[in-house]
Every structure is written in structure tokens, then in C-alpha cells.
Amino acid sequence: MGSGKTTSFDIAHKAGVSQATVSRALRDSPLVNPETRERIKKIARELNYRVDRSAAGLRSQQSNTIALLLYEDPTTDDSQINPFFLSLLGHITRAAAELKYDILISFQQLSDDWLHEYQSSNRADGMILLGYGNFAHMAPKLVKLTEEGARFMIFGLSTEELKGHTICGQNLEGGELATRHLVGLGRKRNVFLGDASDEHPEFKLRYEGYCKALQEAGLPLDEQLRVHAKNQETAGYEAVARLLESGLEFDGLFAVTDLIAFGALKCLRKSGVKVPQEISVVGFDDLPAATYFSPSLTTIRQDTRLAAEALVKNLIGLINGEKVQSHQLPLSLKIRGSCGGRRS
């Protein structure tokens, strides 16, 4: 005897489609065209259909949960989370909720076997990785995940081995944009501040953009102006302190992240160097604090909302067995107080 409760088969019969199409439409899958999707949703509302998420999960062996795994970074507070990823985390949570997915947040370092810990155990249907520390150490782990068929996305990288699993900003173009702005202000001795090694491929691309912009402007590449600093505010402060102590002349500074730029600005201010009158400074990321610094920081903006939506959409595509494409997101220059007018 039937219970009288509306099922997805009832909706399929009335809509003239398969039950699988109904399931996809109610999950907002892009495999169903928008017109059909809205028609199915309308019928579902008319029939007072309600999704039993626990039963649906049991049938499909899906938890409707995404594991968001953060890399623990040294920070000035106790969060151990890079401020850029804090902003991204909020947008990811919202993007997932809109597609009826929950978020399980943890740290990468708490497990050595993410596939077993989350996907194989059905705690999560897929994973989003934010941060990775040293890429040379992380790369074998990521390649293994792809070989094992893990459903995951990672932000910040763009490599052939991880094709279909990455979303990142246009790092090379961003480095060019930042340096061209400094050159356009008449700055001829521009410091690159950060790590341009293979440990951080996206930072290395930003350095390559810096080099390209200098070459296009006919300015020499001075290795003394390439100054190493870890992605920490204190590292930026200490690196600029050493630079000032050395007596090396410079009138522009491109920091590979806002965090490093914050430390640089603090050091310049404490040392009595006027920004932007004497030295112009550009960062990268557009962290919320960039607008509140004194002076406010000119920076390359990464759109965290677009990045979050792309990460979630692509991951759900992988969960549903769809083929997805890695892609790079456009960047923009936010001009603020740390860059003054053109010098003659």
C-alpha cells in the first residue's frame, strides 16, 4: 500500500522526464538545461515534494558534504590560517550552501590519508584544499590523489599534472600589472619582495611577471633587488629592515602578498621612510586589512567570491562524474595610498 507521499518518480512522470533527470534538476546540476530545471522544480513545489537528504544520501552513498582542508600557516594570531583563505572560506561556505552542500572544516596536517579519512569513509563527497606549504613536498601527494580517483580541488596552482583540479588567479599577469604600475609612476629601482622559488609556483609566476614588466620598460634586472621573504608579516618587516640597513637604493617595492607588504609598510614607517613620497608599495591579494593600513595598500585584487564559486561548482561537477576544466581568474589593480603620483 502506498503512503501517499510524493516521490521523485511522481515528478518524473508528470514532467515527462527520467527520475535521474529529476534528481539532477533538484541538485541544480548544469547537466539539465535551465528551462527543464525550473519546470521540474515548479512541479515539485506543486506536489509539495520535500527531499529526504538522509535517505537520498544513503541511496547514492553521498553525504552532501564537502571537506574543506586548510594548511596551517604561522600567523600573528592563534588561528594558524592565512587571512586570504579566511576570506575564501566564507565565500566557499555560502556557495556550497546555495547548492545544498554542507562544509566540514579541518586542517590538512591532521591526516596523512585524506582519501580514506574523508571520501572513502563517506564523511565527505569531495575535498577542497586551501594552501599547501612547500609545493615540492605536496606535489607527490596531490598526484597520488589524482591517480586514486579522488574528487578534489585546490586553489592557487596551475600544473599539467593537476589538470581539472585547480582554480587560480592569473599570477604572471598580476605580477606584470603590479610592476607596470610602479614603472608608470617613474619608479626605476623596484624591489621584488617574497619567495620566487619552486616551493611556491604561484609566487614564482608573479616574479616572472615582475621581470617581464621591467624588461618591457627597458629597466635592468638587478638580483640585489630580489629579496627573499617568507609569506609572513614579520618576514616582510625583517627583510625590509635588512634592505634599509644595507644602504641599497630603491624607490618601489612589489610584495608578492599583502601579508609581506604589511610588514614592509610597518618597517618603512618606523624607519622614517615616507610612503609613497619616497617609496611606492604594491601588494597582492587585496586582503580586507589593506584598506585600513596607513597608508592604505595598493594591491592586486583576487576575487575570492568568484574563486569560491568556481571551486565549489567544479568539485560538485567531479562528484557528479562530470568533466571539469581548470581555469585562471582575472585580476585587477586596486590603487590606494601606498602609491603616489608619477615621478619625473
Q: Given this model, what pLDDT does residue 140 score?
A: 87
Domain that holds residue 107: 65-168+304-330
User: Has residue 76 been placed in a domain?
Assistant: yes
User: Has residue 341 been placed in a domain?
Assistant: no
If asked whether residues 109 and 218 sit together in one domain, one would say no
Q: Given this model, what pLDDT does residue 51 score?
A: 65
If asked whether residues 95 and 162 sit together in one domain, one would say yes
Confidence of residue 58 (pLDDT cuts 50, 70, 90): very low
User: Has residue 57 been placed in a domain?
Assistant: no
Confidence of residue 332 (pLDDT cuts 50, 70, 90): very high
If asked whether residues 150 and 264 sit together in one domain, one would say no
User: Has residue 339 been placed in a domain?
Assistant: no
If asked whether residues 216 and 251 sit together in one domain, one would say yes
Q: Given this model, what pLDDT does residue 61 score?
A: 64
What pLDDT digit, counting tens, does each position of 193-212 carry?
999 998 999 999 999 999 99
Give the pLDDT mean for 82-111: 90
User: Has residue 58 been placed in a domain?
Assistant: no
Q: Which of 134-148, 195-209, 257-271 has the lowest mean pLDDT?
A: 134-148
If asked whether residues 87 and 134 sit together in one domain, one would say yes
What pLDDT digit, counting tens, does each position of 5-48 carry?
778 788 888 999 887 788 778 877 777 888 998 999 999 989 88
User: Has residue 142 been placed in a domain?
Assistant: yes
Q: How does strand 298-302 pair with strand 252-255?
A: unpaired
If asked whether residues 175 and 285 sit together in one domain, one would say yes
Q: Given this model, what pLDDT does residue 187 score?
A: 97
- Per-chain mean pLDDT for the chain: 89
pTM of the model as a whole = 0.80
Q: Which of 49-58, 89-98, 138-147, 296-305 has the lowest mean pLDDT?
A: 49-58
If asked whether residues 120 and 236 sit together in one domain, one would say no
If asked whether residues 264 and 241 sit together in one domain, one would say yes
If asked whether residues 294 and 178 sit together in one domain, one would say yes
pLDDT score of 2 more than 60: no
Total domains, the chain? 3
User: Has residue 336 been placed in a domain?
Assistant: no
pLDDT score of 148 more than 60: yes
If asked whether residues 128 and 205 sit together in one domain, one would say no
Q: Given this model, what pLDDT does residue 33 score?
A: 85
Q: Which of 34-43, 47-56, 331-340 has the lowest mean pLDDT?
A: 47-56
Give the pLDDT mean for 109-135: 84
Q: Given this model, what pLDDT does residue 25 score?
A: 83
If asked whether residues 35 and 99 sit together in one domain, one would say no
Specify the CATH number for the domain of residue 125.
3.40.50.2300
User: Has residue 1 been placed in a domain?
Assistant: no
Share of the chain above pLDDT 70, in %: 92
Q: Given this model, what pLDDT does residue 53 score?
A: 54
Q: Given this model, what pLDDT does residue 76 score?
A: 65
